[in-house]
Amino acid sequence: AGIKSYDSVRITKTKLGGLSKRTLNNFLSPVLCLPRRITSPLSEVVHHKTAGNIFFLIEFIKTLGSPDKNLLTYSLARRQWIWDAESIAMMPISDNVAGILVKKLLCIDKKVLQCL
């Protein structure tokens, strides 16, 4: 982290790295209420797709559970979260934040976009 001062305003610049596979799994396990050994395969594929970038990670997980993808769902019969790791691995992911934001904007109603 570097601290610089411009006209009496202190600016702190911090570079954040991506989450490790282990940290990602430690995050997903309690969220899905499953042991880490079970969420590990999901963590592997999600980490591969997002490189641990927390912003991409959150958006990617949201996408997995979206009704049009349905790749992360809760099974009432098994009473646990289930996923299709192979289909998740084949999903495209945007290379940058702008790509994700553009996809979100394209999903907004046209009348709402006109107001923006």
Q: What is the DSSP string of 6-49?
A: ETTEEEEE-PPPPPPHHHHHHHHHHHTTS-HHHHHHHHHHHHHH
Residue 97 near residue 55 (C-beta atoms within 8 A): yes
Alpha helices in 32-96 (DSSP H): 36-50, 54-65, 85-90
Interval 20-37: pLDDT, tens: 999 999 999 999 999 999
> For residues 40 and 21, what is the distance between their CA atoms, to the nearest angstrom?
8
What is the pTM for the complete model shown? 0.71
The Cα–Cα gap between 34 and 32 comes to 5
Q: What is the pLDDT of residue 66?
A: 86
pLDDT, tens digit, for every residue of 73-115? 999 999 999 999 999 998 877 666 667 777 777 878 888 777 7
